[in-house]
Amino acid sequence: MAYLIFENNNLIRIAANENDKNSLNNSEAVTVVEVSESDFLQIKSGRKGASYDGTNVTYIDFYEDPNEKFDPLEQGTLEFFHKNIIEQINNFLEMNPDNSMRDSITAYKTFLEGFDCSTITYPMTKSWEQHCQDNSITYFHPLQIP
């Protein structure tokens, strides 16, 4: 099973499995909700978001909900997004030298650093994560990085 982690009913982390959940350095104030693999993948790929009312998880489809809008990505926006993820990963690596997710997240960082954003057709009409999933690229959603 996969997990969504909420703090004050706001989604703050996601985890693909029990080991990843235990590697996230969560505070005791979080609520962990077990979800199906398919719901997890929808959030991980950027297709959906989630909210929590203290009892129920509600999913928001970023591609179909008229109140939500996926803004197509331009190259500069994607490059900025990658830069921010790399900074997040660098912070994680510095603060968590013994974390079990270190090697796989380091591999994702190396991939991002070597990725040529000009190889994609713009505007992108899907999230970076969905692009990775569609192209069998191993990736981490920012909410998966401790």
In a domain, residue 35? The reply is yes
Q: What pTM value is reported for the model?
A: 0.88
Each residue's pLDDT, cut to its tens digit, for the chain (146 residues) gives 999 999 999 999 999 999 999 998 788 889 999 999 999 999 999 989 999 999 999 998 887 755 555 677 899 999 999 999 999 999 999 999 999 999 999 999 999 999 999 999 999 888 899 999 999 999 999 999 98
Q: Based on the domain organization, do 53 and 20 belong to the same domain?
A: yes
Q: Based on the domain organization, do 24 and 55 belong to the same domain?
A: yes
Query: How many structural domains compose the chain?
Result: 2
DSSP structure string for 62-89 = TTT-TTS-PPPBPHHHHHHHHHHHHHHH
Residues spanned by the domain of 126: 75-144
Q: Based on the domain organization, do 100 and 44 belong to the same domain?
A: no
Q: Based on the domain organization, do 83 and 134 belong to the same domain?
A: yes
In a domain, residue 134? The reply is yes
